Amino acid sequence: MIRALTGFSTRRPWRVIVVWAVLGIFVTLMGQALVFRVTHTDSAGFLPAQYDAAAALRVAREEFGAEPDVDAVTVLVARRDGKPLEDADEKRVEAVARELSATRLEMPWTEEQIRGISEDYSQVPRVALVTTAPDGSFALLGARLRGNSTDPGMQSVYRVFHDRAEQEFGEAGLRTGFTGGLADVVDRADAEETTQIVVGLLVVGLIVLVNVLVFRSVMAAFIPLFAVSVVGGAAVGTVVGAALLTGFELDPGTPGMISTVLIGIGVDYFLFLLFRFREELRRRPEEDHRLVAADVSGRVGTAVTSAALTIVAAFATLGVATFGHFRVLGPSVAVSVLVMLVASLTLMPALLAVTGRKMFWPSRTLAATAGQRPGSAGRTGELVARRPVLVLAASVALLGALAAGVAGVRMDFGAGGTPHETAAAATAREIAGALPAGVSDPTTVYVTADGGRVLDAAEVGVVQRALSGVSGVGEVAAPVFDADRTAARLDAYLTVDSQSQRARDLVAGPVRQAVREATPAGLSAHVGGTAAVFADVATAVDRDLRTVFPVAAALIALILVVLLRSLAAPVVLMLAVGLCFAATFGASALVFQHLGGEAGVTFVLPLVLFLFVVALGTDYNILISDRLREEMAHGGSARAAVARAVRHTAPAIATAGVVLAASFGSLAVNADPGTRQLGFAMALGILLSAFVVSLLLVPAAAALLGRGMWWPVRATRGRRDGMDRAVPEPQGRRAEDLQASHRS
């Protein structure tokens, strides 16, 4: 099947390229236009129904008509001279609020949005006076806008509302401030826009520079990047289309993560092909380049397929998770990697067949290499073959030292704060100086009567008084009943930031305990709000970690047994990647928690890091293992085979590792603490996987185990190109064996 795809692609390359170009660009554009129709920003919606915050959300929607895509904005209105608001000012505030609630906001259309496909967020906002500061220094308005807060179209509507409110109040001599929900998202996006553009350009520049330095060719630097960009866009579009058809809702960060992952993975796969293509062109200078491309694509395609299917299987294990964010992330990454795999077996071979030796122009690297100095890759291979015990011990010691950082690690379930320098953060601090910190984001208790009977105000008052007596609750608003008085809502304003760990501890402990003990018989009460949601997310994620880790590890180990046709090699690889995961996790905890002073590592880090480091690290391990088996099958000493395998694969693995680490590293400059940690950890994990595990630890273990690495099926003489057959040794290989044997 693999050789059939690669063979067709190299025989009919232009057809394959045209199909990918047309379909890829079309699916990319459609995905960009529709992505915000399938993204969902409410974390409570990803919780299983049995959790308290999910039950509160259900009551809010069924009894109070709460909409899942409504964004709350808190508007602060104060006098410019800093004096308390006067009666005339308060009347003006109320008048402007009514005017804003009666004026339609028209969404400004941009070139990126397609009328009829992109969502039109034009609407009439709901604006109402919420409260006035005790000292009269400001009034707070609550504004509700409907739409996906991550959609640039929705953000444009907010900016229209922001400018209109600022103008209306400014004409009355009043100043405004905006915070909470949508205001935080927009301010953060504006603050990061320039940084993201610069970082994106730097990552692209780094990828191009690395390829230029390695291949000394302009085409080999740009063609892979262009091809992978088209395929990556098509993969995201495919995921968006699948979500539309199946009714799945994606987390807003999923499309961006897919793009980042696929750029790195796709360039990796292309690099594996390019390095082997160049090697075979050197060895077979008189042979037609299309035949070489077909042979290389079929051979490398097997390893790439194995590596890609390992990633797919690893992320498929997220299907057993209870937290909806994980359940959606798994299939999304799996589908996108499958799209990249198809491109690796069709588009990439077609590009090799079309360009041929011109792919490496104007470099002279295709010239014969006999007699040249071995270079760093050759020296590394010789070192591993000559001193495997030393290399193995040093690798384990390094990874073990980094893994020590796991001691005392804590999980941080924060939502990621707004950068302190934004206007939204400044407004939030001003509000917190006069009112409880949670006034713009209350913890809400929903009370319902069993059997749907009418609620008695006295019954709800019992719960209200219990809430008011909890230390950490600054104020509890008067109960609000639904239309038929079968449900009541109590807004509790905490004295701490609702996104902080203290708020989550307060809600998960004293608040819920007080509500549970005070709720009269025949009534049900559920605690919701940001702090309650993330308290329940913490519980759900903790359970998922205990389930997904062993299932994923077992599945990956089983896949390695099938792919490598060995029991010993999978044990070596799983121990190696497990130690690499521990080292990466420990280093992240050391940098961010122990030295950086942060509350802990983001709660998604262990799971996402485990899957990416184990799955992507296994990519490199499969590549080196495939070459180790191939070299050992030629005969000669096992250590000489290890030296050759490292020499031939080190440039590809090292270059691919740098490219993939740079792709992930672009996330490390994000203002969101969780995203920053993920970027750092995944970049470090990939570098450790490539340079320590795949190029040192695994080859050293292979040098010590010899052909026993493939027990119970020993490496046979002859290369496996779809079937076992003897292949004449290239000239110079026997001499290498003798030299390596003499050195060892």
**pLDDT surpasses 50 at 728:** no
How many other CB atoms sit within 10 Å of the CB of residue 448? 20
Instruction: Give me the residues paired with residue 132 across strands.
Output: 139
Please say whether the beta carbons of 9 and 288 come within 8 A: no
The amino acid that residue 369 corresponds to is T
pLDDT digits (tens, 9 = 90+) for 467-504: 999 999 988 988 998 888 899 999 998 888 787 778 88
Question: Looking at residue 238, what is its pLDDT?
Answer: 92
What is the C-alpha to C-alpha distance for residues 29 and 34, in angstroms, rounded to an integer? 9
If one counts every other C-beta atom within 10 angstroms of the C-beta of residue 15, the result is: 12
**pLDDT at residue 507 tops 60:** yes
What topology is assigned to 423-534 in CATH?
A: Alpha-Beta Plaits (3.30.70)
Structure-model confidence comparison of residues 697 and 32, the more confident one: 697
Q: What values do phi and psi take at 39, rounded to 5?
A: -95, 150
Residue 721 has pLDDT above 60, yes or no: no
Q: Give yes or no for residue 696 having a pLDDT over 90.
A: yes
Least confident piece of the model among 111-125, 564-578, 658-672: 658-672
Alpha-carbon distances, residue 141 vs 73, 77, 132, 280 (angstroms): 8, 8, 9, 70
pLDDT digits (tens, 9 = 90+) for 394-419: 999 999 999 998 888 887 766 444 44
Q: What is the pLDDT of residues 586-628, one digit of tens each?
A: 999 999 888 887 878 887 788 778 777 777 777 788 888 888 8
Question: What local confidence, expressed as pLDDT, does residue 670 receive?
Answer: 67
**Residue 373 banded pLDDT, cuts 50, 70, 90:** low
pLDDT given for residue 548 in this prediction: 83
Using 50, 70 and 90 to split pLDDT, how confident is the model at 526?
very high
* pLDDT for 177 beyond 90: yes
Report the pLDDT value the prediction gives residue 671, as an integer from 0 to 100: 62
Q: Name the token pair of 524.
A: 């049900």
Determine phi and psi for 153, rounding to 5 degrees. Answer: -65, -45
**CATH label, 69-187, candidates 2.60.40, 1.10.10, 3.30.1710, 3.30.70:** 3.30.70
Return d(Cα 457, Cα 462) in angstroms, integer: 9
State the average pLDDT over residues 700-707.
Answer: 91
User: Across residues 199-211, what is the average pLDDT?
Assistant: 80
Tens of pLDDT along 414-449?
Answer: 644 444 568 888 888 888 788 776 776 889 999 998
pLDDT digits (tens, 9 = 90+) for 74-114: 999 999 988 999 999 999 999 999 999 989 999 888 766 77
Q: What local confidence, expressed as pLDDT, does residue 623 receive?
A: 82
d(CA 594, CA 517): 39
Confidence of residue 726 (pLDDT cuts 50, 70, 90): very low
User: Tell me, what DSSP letter sits at residue 495?
Assistant: S
Q: What is the pTM of this model?
A: 0.76
* Average pLDDT of the segment spanning 113-141: 86
Domain spans in the chain, listed from the N-terminal domain onward:
1-37+217-361, 69-187, 375-406+542-715, 423-534
Stretch among 115-124, 166-175, 260-269 having the lowest mean pLDDT: 260-269
Same fold, 1-37+217-361 and 375-406+542-715: yes
Radius of gyration of the chain from its Cα atoms, rounded to whole angstroms: 30
CATH of domain 375-406+542-715: 1.20.1640.10
The pLDDT of residue 602 is 82
Query: CATH code for 1-37+217-361?
Result: 1.20.1640.10
Residue found under tokens 């030393």: 390
